[in-house]
């Protein structure tokens, strides 16, 4: 059941990576990028926990947050 929910979310992220992200430029402060982090989190933890981890990561990726660098999926 989880795979049926994860697959469309990952496809949506890939759509963003291929068609939208090139026009916005590389702005992510972390490695892996937020979109790659989201794909890994969704694949590892499923749609609920993976989405939660991805949202937390995206909220941390801003100019006011002092952290940056390597932030792998737990």
pLDDT tens digits, residue range 1-29?
578 899 999 999 999 999 999 998 888 88
**How much is the average pLDDT of 45-73?**
89
Burial of 22 (0-12, 13-18, 19+ CB in 10 A): exposed
Report whether pLDDT(72) > 90: no
**How much is the average pLDDT of 33-46?**
95
Instruction: Note down the domain range covering 14.
Output: 2-70
Domain count, the chain: 1
Q: Report the alpha-carbon distance of residue 44 to residue 29 in Å, rounded.
A: 22
């Amino acid at each position: 059941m989880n795979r049926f929910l994860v697959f469309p979310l990952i496809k949506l992220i890939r759509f963003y990576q291929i068609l939208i992200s090139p026009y916005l430029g590389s702005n992510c402060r972390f490695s892996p990028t937020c979109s790659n982090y989201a794909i890994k989190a969704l694949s590892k933890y499923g749609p609920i926990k993976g989405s939660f981890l991805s949202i937390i990561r995206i909220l941390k990726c801003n100019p006011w947050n002092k952290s940056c660098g390597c932030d792998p999926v737990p």
